[in-house]
Amino acid sequence: DTGVSQDPRHKITKRGQNVTFRCDPISEHNRLYWYRQTLGQGPEFLTYFQNEAQLEKSRLLSDRFSAERPKGSFSTLEIQRTEQGDSAMYLCASSLGVSGNTIYFGEGSWLTVV
């Protein structure tokens, strides 16, 4: 499968714990995005990378959230001191860095904070 890959697919954690999600984009895609989606809502943009540079962050991305893409390939999204409001599906997506090119999503990582 050469699509966007995310791990883990499901995570249940206790409030206050840290969690980390990993995303492997489609090979040769230099842009990588993180979105968050809650029930009944569309995906909300969190942050995006072009190669290893983090070019944009949403104000939704509080200081408990950090994302990295150290070598311009895979990316990690860490949430520190999780809260129940962090429960959501975290979606990773990638695209080629060409104007107008489409964004393809991974299968998502479900987070439940109890």
Partner 1 sequence: QKEVEQNSGPLSVPEGAIASLNCTYSDRGSQSFFWYRQYSGKSPELIMFIYSNGDKEDGRFTAQLNKASQYVSLLIRDSQPSDSATYLCAVKGSGYSTLTFGKGTMLLVSP
Site residues, partner 1 (CB under 8 A): 31, 33, 40-45, 48, 50, 55-56, 89, 91, 97, 100, 102-108
Minimum separation from the CB atom of position 66 to partner 1 (A): 18
Q: Pick the closer one to partner 1 by CB: 82 or 94.
A: 94
Please say which residue, 17 or 101, places its beta carbon nearer to partner 1: 101
The whole-angstrom separation of Cα 78 and Cα 112 is 14
Q: Rounded to the nearest whole angstrom, what is the least distance from the CB of residue 36 to partner 1 in the complex?
A: 11
Give 42-91 as a DSSP string.
--EEEEEEETTEEEEE-TTS-TTEEEE-TTSS-EEEEE-S--GGG-EEEE
